[in-house]
Structures are given as structure tokens and as C-alpha cells.
Amino acid sequence: MPDQPEGKVAQASAAPAAPVAAAAKSAADSKEAKAAVADINRSRRRIVWACIWGYLGVNFVMFLRFFFPRALYEPNTTFTIGFPADFALGIDQRFLMTNRSWVVKEPDRIFVIFARCTHLGCTPEWKPAENKFKCPCHGSGYDSEGVNFEGPAPRPMDRAFVHLDPTGKIVVDTSRLFVDDPRAGVNHFNDPGAYLNV
């Protein structure tokens, strides 16, 4: 067999090595590309499953909430305010925040005004400098006895039922209100239970 020159042998051995290196490089690139695609798919799956479990978790919490009562905790409508001698003449605001009531003591009687504006139900404020109740919502004004004299209020504020218990303390019941409505010709402010004689 004739001898081949050394240069041709070197070229022949180098030629098959180049395609193998290129194939290895392309295989490595394709493995990296597949790994990147797999990471992206894994991240997408995690996001989708997180959304699914979050949705199911919120629904489960709403399902559990169904078994707990939805009760409004309002103040008791019947409460004791103390002895008649505990009050000075004028308006006493001690029970406004807890029971939405003002205690009014006059020289001959005590009565309790339920602090609800007869216009839209807001809670009026007592203005001692002006000697009147003033509703902050729409400007209705009431005198010291709760009788309206200005603004859109259609009638005086209601009075709560009051009586003395066996120990001599005043018991107030705001579930029983006395109404004065001049338009309807009704006035219960002088009925028994609307005030206490002192």
C-alpha cells in the first residue's frame, strides 16, 4: 500500500474529530435548553398549584365560617343608672357611650332621652354653651327636654321607660320608648313610666 503523506493523515484524523465535538457541544446545549424549559415548566406548575390550593383554602375558610354564629353584640336595653340623688339638675351624659341615653333631671322629675335623632337616626351632641342638643348629620336642634325646634327633625326625641327597683335605683328600658308626634296627635311624654317624680 502506498504511503500517505503525514499532512493528509493529520487532516484525516482531525476531520472526524470536529463533527464529534460539534455534536457533543450541540448535545450539551440541548441538555441545557431542556433543563431551562423544565425549570420554566416547573415554575408554571408551582404557580398554578399555588393558585388552586389558595382558592380551595379560601373556600374552606368560608365553609368553616358558616358554622360560627353571626351575632351582633349590642348593649343591653335594660340597665340600672343609680339612685335619683346621684344626679344633679341638668343633662347627665354618663350613659351616652354605653347605652345611648341622656339622663335629664329637672326640679320635680327625672326622665331619660334616647339619643337618636328622629330625622335619620344619628346621635345628637349636647352643647352646654348653647343649652341644646345638635345633630351633626343634618343640623336638627333639640332643647334640653329633647323637643325639636330647628332643622329637618319631624318630632322630639323619644324617652325611655323608667321605674324604681325595690332597692330604690332607677331602671331604664330603652326597648320601651315614649313618643311625642304632634303631626299624628300623639303625646306619651306624660304617661306613667315616661318620667319619675323626685
pLDDT digits (tens, 9 = 90+) for 138-184: 889 999 888 898 989 899 999 999 999 999 999 999 999 999 888 88
pLDDT of residue 2: 53
Pair 64, 153: CB distance under 8 Å: no
Looking at beta carbons, which pairs linking 193-196 to residues 24 or more positions away fall under 8 Å? 193/161, 193/162, 193/163, 194/111, 194/159, 194/161, 194/162, 195/109, 195/110, 195/111, 195/159, 195/162, 196/84, 196/109, 196/110, 196/111, 196/162, 196/163, 196/164, 196/170
pLDDT score for 114: 92
Q: What does the pLDDT read at residue 55?
A: 96
The predicted pLDDT at position 30 comes to: 73
Instruction: Please state, in angstroms and rounded to a whole number, the distance separating the CA atoms of residues 108 and 150.
Output: 27
pTM for the structure as a whole? 0.63
The pLDDT score that the predictor gives to residue 8 is: 53
Q: Which residue has the cell 390550593?
A: 53
Please report the pLDDT score of residue 39 as a whole number. 78
Q: At a CB cut-off of 8 Å and minimum separation 6, what does 58 contact?
A: none
Which DSSP letter does residue 196 get?
E
Q: Which sequence spans correspond to the domains of the chain?
A: 1-71, 78-197
- Per-residue pLDDT reduced to its tens digit, 98-146: 889 999 999 999 999 999 998 888 899 999 999 899 998 888 999 988 8
State the fold for domain 78-197.
Answer: Rieske Iron-sulfur Protein (2.102.10)
Backbone region of residue 68 per phi and psi (left: phi > 0; alpha: psi in -120 to 50; beta: other values): beta
Residues 6+ apart with CB under 8 A from 76: 99
Q: What is the pLDDT of residue 37?
A: 75
Instruction: Look at residue 15 and tell me whether its pLDDT is greater than 70.
Output: no
pLDDT reading at 24 higher than 70 = no
Mean pLDDT value across the chain: 84
In this prediction, residue 1 carries a pLDDT of 47
Mean pLDDT of all residues in 30-52:
83
DSSP annotation of 13: H
